[in-house]
Each structure stands twice: as structure tokens, then as C-alpha cells.
């Protein structure tokens, strides 16, 4: 129950995750207004980043240190990760101010981060990620011998600096993309279908929009579609991004929150980025697929699709089994406490 007419909307009762955006404050214009606000804020964000990069380039010549290509790559890595991480305040502003609902409704059906469940998903993510890493080197040497370069890391100092950037920024970058794609996008699509009893709520269109299918499809394939638009010939990476997105979007619906998606994204990105730096492939992290989903192993080759499918499949089965065993809530509470 709302305490006043100015209080933000509470969690809808008895709804799955993708329907939590359909609050008592929802109106037909809420979604287009939220999209417009997100686009405006994103535009100013990119203008600010472009200005910052320009200033760094002017002050430092070409990067933070004109005499070191490696240090310049570290600066580019930091800017790339930070630009994604800054989606967090934008999404939270859209949810809290434009959609006028509690930020917790973006996180799970319980209106908060379920820390115990997040820790469990993180532990489960270690096995499939380790499998992908272990399978990559022998498969790459067998199928595409030139895929793994032989150059070193560029020295202990460079490796340490890159690792500091990765450890500090990758978790925020991964969480930012999950609350945007599996959070905001899924809930905006899921909110479109009218409830039973509302005007048009009994129509076939409303029933389809209320189902998880459209929300999972939108949240799972949007990034892959954007990547394909900018890299039209890279079907293998696009397919891998779609597999990763659809798997995490389905788990978000199945487990009633973002914890499973965030756990896989963070663990995968930390491990894969570290390998890129260790093997002297830091420049590969600048690609959209790598920064966007942590897919540096075999990007642009059939190998990336094969490994991603196996990794996501193992993780999805494991998390779904654990969620059923632990009785993880899939819908919001039917009563207020």
C-alpha cells in the first residue's frame, strides 16, 4: 500500500520478474517516455566520454603515455569498461524517476539483491567458465592454429596495471549491462500487456505480451542485434552473443531476478579478460563483443559459438536445478508484509 500519492509504486503482487514494471503507476506513455529519457541520458553520457577521451588525447599525445602502446591500451580498456558501467546511474534514474517505481523491483521479485542466491550462482558459474577456458587452447590449436598469439604480456607492471583496471571496473560493467538488457529491457517489454480485468487484458495480444517469450527474446537478443548491425559479417560472434543473452534472460525469468545473469557475466568477463591480458591480446578487449559479454576466446570464429553454447548450456542446467532445489522465488509476494 502506498503511503501517499507521491510515493513510488510498490512491487506488483504475484507477478513474475518480467511483469514487475507493470505497477500501479504504469500508464500507456510510461514506456515511450522511459525510452526517450534513456536515449537522452545515454547521448549526454557518450558526449561526456568523447570529451574525456579527447582531452586525454590532447594532453598525452596518443593515450595516457605516448611512448607506451601498452599503457595506451590500458587507458582504452578503462574508458571502454567505464562507459558501460555508467549505464548503472542512467538505468536507476529511469526506473526511479521516470517509471516512478522502487529500484529494488529491477533486481528481483523480492525487491532486493538476494545475496545468498547471488553467491550460489557465482559458485556455479566457475565450472562452465573453467570448462570453456580449458577447452579453448587445445581446440584452437587443433582447428585454428593461428588464433592464439605467442607474444607476452608486456611486462609485470603493464600486466598489474591492466589487472587493477579489470578487477575494479569489470564487475560494474557486467552489472550495468545486465540491469539494462535483462532488467530494464525485459521489464519494459513485459509491462506492455494489460492485466486480466484491465481494458484489453483478455485479448490475444495482451496474453502474448504478458507471457515471458517477448521479454526474454527482447532482453536476450538486443545486444546481439546491435553487434550485428555494426559487424555485419561476424555471424559467429553474433550467434554467441544471442546464445549468452537468451540463456541469461531465460534464467532471469526462471529465477525471478538478475542474480544468475550477473554472476555468469562477472565471472566470465573476469576470467576471459585476464586471459586476454596474460596472452598479450589486450587490444581484442576493445571489440564490442568482448566488452559487451566477455567473449574474447575465439571471437569471430565458429569456436566462440561452440564454446559459448556449451558454457551457457552447462550453467543454465546447473542454475535451474539449484533454483528448484532451493525453492528460489519466481514471482513476487501476493501479500504485503
pLDDT confidence of residue 6? 56
Distance CA 24, CA 288 (A): 38
Query: 20-29, 53-62, 161-170, 189-198: which range is least confident on average?
Result: 53-62
Number of residues that make up the chain: 337
Report pLDDT for 252. Answer: 98
**DSSP H or E run through 137:** helix 115-143
Q: Is the pLDDT of residue 56 over 80?
A: no
With bands split at pLDDT 50, 70 and 90, how would you rate the model's confidence at 141? Answer: low
**pLDDT confidence bin for 290, thresholds 50/70/90:** low
Q: Could you report the per-residue pLDDT of 75-119, keeping only the tens digit for each?
A: 778 888 888 899 999 999 999 999 999 999 999 999 999 999 999
- Asked whether residue 337 carries a pLDDT value surpassing 80, the answer given is no
Average pLDDT over residues 180-200: 94
What was the pLDDT predicted at 145? 59
Q: Which residue did the predictor score with more confidence, 330 or 285?
A: 330
Instruction: Judge whether 25 and 2 are in contact, CB under 8 Å.
Output: no
Q: Which of 93-107, 155-169, 256-270 has the lowest mean pLDDT?
A: 155-169
Percent of the chain whose pLDDT exceeds 90: 56
- Give the C-alpha separation, 99 to 26, whole Å: 7
Q: Is the dihedral of CA 111, 117, 118, 121 positive or negative?
A: negative
pLDDT for res 83: 85
Given a cut of 70, whether residue 47 has pLDDT beyond it is yes
Rounded to whole angstroms, the Cα distance separating 86 from 101 reads 20
Mean pLDDT, residues 264-293? 73
In order of 42, 201, 253, the CA distances from 194 in angstroms are: 29, 5, 19
Instruction: Tell me the average pLDDT across 298-324.
Output: 89
**What does the pLDDT read at residue 284?**
63
Supply the pLDDT for residue 148: 55
Alpha carbon distances (Å) from 16 to 110, 260, 266, 269, 306: 11, 15, 24, 28, 31
Residue 69 scores a pLDDT above 50: no
Weakest mean pLDDT among 57-71, 145-159, 307-321: 57-71
Using alpha carbons, select from 251, 228, 223, 254 the residue that is nearest to residue 313. 251
Distance (Å, rounded) from C-alpha 114 to C-alpha 123? Answer: 14
pLDDT higher than threshold 50 for residue 175: yes
| Whether the predicted pLDDT of 201 surpasses 60 | yes
pLDDT (0 to 100) of residue 160: 84
Name the range with the highest mean pLDDT among 15-19, 149-153, 202-206, 268-272: 15-19
pLDDT at 167 over 60: yes
Higher-confidence position of 160 and 218: 218
What pLDDT is attached to residue 94? Answer: 97
Residue 66: per-residue pLDDT? 39
Identify the residue with better confidence: 143 or 122: 122
Of 144-158, 180-194, 218-232, 313-327, least confident by mean pLDDT is 144-158
Amino acid at each position: 500500500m502506498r503511503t501517499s500519492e507521491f510515493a513510488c509504486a510498490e512491487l506488483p503482487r504475484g507477478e513474475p520478474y518480467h511483469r514487475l514494471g507493470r505497477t500501479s503507476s504504469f500508464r500507456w506513455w510510461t514506456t515511450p517516455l522511459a525510452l526517450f529519457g534513456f536515449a537522452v541520458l545515454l547521448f549526454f553520457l557518450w558526449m561526456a566520454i568523447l570529451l574525456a577521451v579527447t582531452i586525454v588525447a590532447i594532453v598525452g599525445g596518443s593515450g595516457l603515455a605516448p611512448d607506451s602502446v601498452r599503457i595506451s591500451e590500458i587507458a582504452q580498456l578503462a574508458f571502454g569498461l567505464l562507459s558501460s558501467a555508467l549505464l548503472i546511474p542512467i538505468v536507476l534514474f529511469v526506473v526511479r524517476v521516470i517509471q516512478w517505481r522502487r529500484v529494488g523491483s529491477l533486481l528481483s521479485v523480492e525487491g532486493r539483491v538476494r545475496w545468498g542466491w547471488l553467491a550460489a550462482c557465482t559458485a556455479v558459474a566457475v565450472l562452465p567458465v573453467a570448462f570453456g577456458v580449458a577447452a579453448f587452447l587445445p581446440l584452437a590449436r587443433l582447428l585454428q592454429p593461428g588464433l592464439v598469439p605467442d607474444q607476452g604480456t608486456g611486462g609485470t607492471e603493464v600486466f598489474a596495471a591492466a589487472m587493477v583496471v579489470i578487477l575494479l571496473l569489470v564487475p560494474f560493467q557486467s552489472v550495468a549491462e545486465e540491469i539494462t538488457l535483462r532488467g530494464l529491457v525485459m521489464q519494459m517489454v513485459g509491462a506492455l500487456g494489460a492485466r486480466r480485468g484491465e481494458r484489453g487484458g483478455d485479448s490475444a495480444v495482451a496474453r502474448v505480451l504478458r507471457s515471458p517469450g517477448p521479454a526474454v527474446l527482447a532482453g536476450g537478443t538486443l545486444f546481439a542485434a546491435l553487434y550485428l548491425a555494426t559487424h555485419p559479417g561476424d555471424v559467429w560472434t553474433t550467434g554467441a552473443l544471442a546464445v549468452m543473452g537468451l540463456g541469461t534472460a531465460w534464467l532471469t525469468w526462471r529465477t525471478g531476478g538478475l542474480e544468475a545473469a550477473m554472476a555468469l557475466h562477472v565471472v566470465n568477463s573476469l576470467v576471459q579478460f585476464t586471459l586476454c591480458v596474460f596472452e598479450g591480446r589486450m587490444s581484442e578487449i576493445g571489440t564490442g563483443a568482448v566488452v559487451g559479454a566477455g567473449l574474447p576466446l575465439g571471437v569471430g570464429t565458429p569456436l566462440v559459438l561452440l564454446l559459448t553454447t556449451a558454457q551457457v548450456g552447462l550453467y543454465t542446467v546447473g542454475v535451474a536445478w539449484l533454483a528448484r532445489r532451493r525453492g528460489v522465488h519466481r514471482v513476487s509476494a501476493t501479500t504485503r508484509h
